[in-house]
Amino acid sequence: MADDQGRTLEGCEEEQLIKREKKKFTSSVLIACVIAASSGLMFGYVIGISGGVSAMKDFLAKFFPSISRDPSKGSSGSGNYCRYNDQLLQLFTSSTYIVGLISTFGASYTTRDLGRKPTMLIAGIFYLVGTVLNAGAQSLPMLIIGRVFLGCGIGFGNQATPLYLSEVAPPHLRGGLNILFQLNITTGILIANLVNYFTAAYPWGWRLSFALGGIPSLLLTLGSFVLSETPNSLIERGYLTQGKQVLEKIRGTDQVEEEFNDLVEVGVASSLIKNPFRDIIRRKNLPPLICAICLQFFQQAGGINAIMFYSPVLFETVGFGSNASLVSTVVIGGINAVCTIISMVVVDRFGRKILLLEAGVQLFIAQVGIAILLGLGLKDSVNLLTPMQAMAVVLMVCLFISGFAWSWGPLAWLVASEVFPLEVRSAGQSITVSTNLLFTFAMAQSFLSMLCVLKYGIFILFAAFLVAMTLFAALLLPETKGIPIEEMSGLWKRHWLWRRFLDDFSMEITGVQARRVLWPEI
Ligand code: BGC
């Protein structure tokens, strides 16, 4: 029996076999996953470690002596809500993210011009230096400089690692491996929470908390030496032969002609673009650009990092002891990691939008619940919540974290990485990462002050952003489940608003046209 192109059944089966062969999960892909895991773990560890050490009294006494441990008076303003309102304490957390933001732009050039592998090595070295400075800190400037180095590690690591993963992954595993990076982040946060719980009892505990970040940093640094560069990066920089060899190695077969040709096509199209940051603001790229920026803005504006960075001090604010606060933070970290796994399992079955919309409602209920509990129970004076009320606050935080972890946490990254056309994807990734870090910085630098000024009203403000976030997901975000990346432009063309941006689409030069002009012999 032959199909409409005259191929026999056996022929088709053979072709299927070759395709399946191409999708093998080789040891090179496994090594890439382990190294990428250490980069994600370290990012998560940096996110998770600051909140716990900020609640340790020896750490506060050494670096922030002005923060009163007496709930009746805050360092600025008075009462429960202002207990931790200190600009320098917030700077200790936030400095990392503002530097991460700036360094992402440098990293986008090293990722493109030097390759993904050296960029990951640079990230590992920054992380190591930051870890040493923090663990050995003798003064506040030394502590903050350490955080600045960690920020550079985040900027370089978060630019190169997701790109590395998606470039070496077999196509059918790309979505899952993308969320794997988020799972590593949440695991890093959980490990940091656990470490803080165990070290809090010792006067030097905070030094150990910082120092243990050296393990993933070292793994990332050493691991970067054994990684191969990605075929995409080699081809983009003109190393065609090496690119093909690496492709054969990571796919575990020499039947890579079709994929190699695709990569060459994309490589040529992207090398034609001299300034990707100018290209990305062209009219036809605005729909994915606006969506990626909104996804990252809303991910942060709902208040996730108020909880991630400050839940130990938040729980102390509502009346928990230091130990109970750290235990609750560990529970939250565990829920975060487990629900991220749920997301990995269901995202390709249910689609992105249904998860984003369901979570919009869940997150809204949780933030309004926290506001009501604090509004009723935590007055400006010295009283604390009753144990029942405090438990209810923890439950609401758990409701929030679970919803975030199976939706906006991983999907803001996944969808943003899917929507850009190939030739501006690296620039798109930089803008995605830096938007995320900008709003992460804003939250880290302002939450404790906003809590002092707005009191429980800060959670109402988060809830208002959650309403806008859900409307955005419902009205402006297209469903990207199952759509091949090269067909994404069709998605925008069918959207009621975004199709207006694509009028000049037919004028764009395609990768195929570019290849014919530049390298007709390939
Ligand atoms: C966010 C981080 C957040 C983390 C929590 C990530 O997707 O970008 O800001 O701390 O999720 O799991």
Range of weakest confidence among 29-38, 40-49, 395-404: 29-38
- Contact call for residues 286 and 501 (beta carbons, < 8 A): yes
Instruction: Give the SS3 label for residue 386.
Output: coil
Confidence grade of residue 266 (pLDDT, cut at 50, 70, 90): confident
Probe target for ligand 1 pocket from 43, 187, 299, with the most ligand atoms within 8 Å of CB: 299
Confidence grade of residue 381 (pLDDT, cut at 50, 70, 90): low
Beta-carbon neighbour count of residue 280 at 10 Å? 23
Structure tokens, 367: 């933030």
Q: How far is ligand 1, taken at its centre, from the CA of residue 183, in Å?
A: 10
Q: Using CA positions, which residue lies closest to atom 1 of ligand 1? A: 409
- Ligand 1 atom index nearest CA of 412: 7
| 517 CB burial (10 A radius; 0-12, 13-18, 19+) | exposed
Q: Using CA positions, which residue lies closest to atom 10 of ligand 1? A: 305
Specify the higher pLDDT residue, 517 or 287: 287
Q: Using CA positions, which residue lies closest to atom 3 of ligand 1? A: 305
Q: How far is ligand 1, taken at its centre, from the CA of residue 455, in Å?
A: 24
- What are 424-459's pLDDT values in tens digits? 887 898 899 899 999 999 999 999 999 999 989 999
pLDDT exceeds cutoff 60 at 3: no
- Ligand 1 atom index nearest CA of 336: 12
The mean pLDDT of 251-267, rounded to a whole number, is 85
Q: How far is ligand 1, taken at its centre, from the CA of residue 79, in Å?
A: 30
| 81 CB burial (10 A radius; 0-12, 13-18, 19+) | buried
Structure tokens, 101: 């933001």
Instruction: Give the SS3 label for residue 321.
Output: coil
Q: How far is ligand 1, taken at its centre, from the CA of residue 253, in Å?
A: 37
Give dist(CA 15, CA 104) in Å, integer.
42
Q: How far is ligand 1, taken at its centre, from the CA of residue 185, in Å?
A: 7
Q: How many CA atoms lie within 13 A of 346 on its CB side?
A: 15
Rounded (10°) CA dihedral 175, 163, 477, 365: 70
Q: How far is ligand 1, taken at its centre, from the CA of residue 441, in Å?
A: 12
Range of weakest confidence among 126-130, 135-139, 156-160: 156-160
The mean pLDDT of 167-192, rounded to a whole number, is 83
Confidence grade of residue 504 (pLDDT, cut at 50, 70, 90): low
At residue 383, the pLDDT reads 61
- Ligand 1 atom index nearest CA of 340: 12
With tokens 């595993």, the residue in question is 173
- Ligand 1 atom index nearest CA of 410: 7
CA 340 vs CA 211, 310, 336, 345, 402: distances in Å: 27, 21, 6, 9, 8
Q: Using CA positions, which residue lies closest to atom 7 of ligand 1? A: 409
Give dist(CA 112, CA 135) in Å, integer.
33
pLDDT exceeds cutoff 90 at 509: no
Q: Write b or e for each residue in 452-480: b if 16 or more Cβ atoms lie within 10 A of its Cβ, otherwise e.
A: beebbebbbebbebbeebbebbeeebbeb
- Contact call for residues 237 and 115 (beta carbons, < 8 A): yes
- Ligand 1 atom index nearest CA of 189: 12
Closest residue by Cα to residue 444 from 141, 151, 157: 151
Residues with CB under 6 A from ligand 1: 47, 182, 185-186, 189, 299, 304-305, 308, 336, 409, 436, 440
Give dist(CA 204, CA 41) in Å, integer.
23
What residues contact residue 200 under an 8 Å CB cut-off, 6+ apart?
Answer: 52, 55, 56, 322, 323, 326
Q: How many CA atoms lie within 13 A of 10 on its CB side?
A: 0
Q: Using CA positions, which residue lies closest to atom 11 of ligand 1? A: 409
Q: How far is ligand 1, taken at its centre, from the CA of residue 59, in Å?
A: 25
Chain mean pLDDT for the chain: 85
pLDDT exceeds cutoff 50 at 49: yes
Q: How far is ligand 1, taken at its centre, from the CA of residue 244, in Å?
A: 36
- Contact call for residues 489 and 420 (beta carbons, < 8 A): no
With tokens 């501006």, the residue in question is 424
Q: How far is ligand 1, taken at its centre, from the CA of residue 466, in Å?
A: 16
Q: How far is ligand 1, taken at its centre, from the CA of residue 149, in Å?
A: 20
Probe target for ligand 1 pocket from 308, 336, 339, 355, with the most ligand atoms within 8 Å of CB: 308
Confidence grade of residue 353 (pLDDT, cut at 50, 70, 90): very high
- Ligand 1 atom index nearest CA of 309: 10
CA 226 vs CA 31, 160, 236, 246: distances in Å: 9, 16, 21, 13
At residue 86, the pLDDT reads 85
- Ligand 1 atom index nearest CA of 413: 7
The mean pLDDT of 312-320, rounded to a whole number, is 80
At residue 35, the pLDDT reads 83
Q: Using CA positions, which residue lies closest to atom 12 of ligand 1? A: 186
Q: How far is ligand 1, taken at its centre, from the CA of residue 263, in Å?
A: 31
Q: Which residue type, as a one-letter code, is found at position 88? A: L
Q: How far is ligand 1, taken at its centre, from the CA of residue 409, in Å?
A: 6
pTM reported for the whole predicted model? 0.84
- Ligand 1 atom index nearest CA of 440: 9
pLDDT exceeds cutoff 60 at 507: no
Q: What is the DSSP letter of 230?
A: P
- Contact call for residues 416 and 291 (beta carbons, < 8 A): yes
Q: How far is ligand 1, taken at its centre, from the CA of residue 2, in Å?
A: 52
Question: Which of 14-18, 59-63, 309-313, 501-505 has the highest average model confidence (pLDDT)?
Answer: 59-63
Classify the phi-psi angles of 215: left when phi > 0, otherwise alpha if psi is within -120 to 50, otherwise beta: alpha
Structure tokens, 123: 């990230």
- What are 123-135's pLDDT values in tens digits? 999 999 999 999 9
Probe target for ligand 1 pocket from 45, 181, 185, with the most ligand atoms within 8 Å of CB: 185
Q: Which residue type, as a one-letter code, is found at position 200? A: A
At residue 23, the pLDDT reads 57
Closest residue by Cα to residue 386 from 376, 372, 396: 376
At residue 112, the pLDDT reads 85
- Contact call for residues 421 and 285 (beta carbons, < 8 A): yes
What percent of the chain lies above the pLDDT cut of 70? 87
pLDDT exceeds cutoff 90 at 152: yes
Residue 261: strand pairing partners: none
Q: Using CA positions, which residue lies closest to atom 6 of ligand 1? A: 409
Q: Using CA positions, which residue lies closest to atom 4 of ligand 1? A: 409
Confidence grade of residue 273 (pLDDT, cut at 50, 70, 90): confident
Q: How far is ligand 1, taken at its centre, from the CA of residue 235, in Å?
A: 33
Give dist(CA 198, CA 420) in Å, integer.
43
Question: Which of 156-170, 197-211, 338-352 has the highest average model confidence (pLDDT)?
Answer: 197-211
Q: How far is ligand 1, taken at its centre, from the CA of residue 193, in Å?
A: 14
Give dist(CA 212, CA 427) in Å, integer.
33
Structure tokens, 278: 């100018």
Question: Which of 25-39, 444-458, 464-478, 481-495 has the highest average model confidence (pLDDT)?
Answer: 464-478
Specify the higher pLDDT residue, 331 or 506: 331
Give dist(CA 155, CA 140) in Å, integer.
23
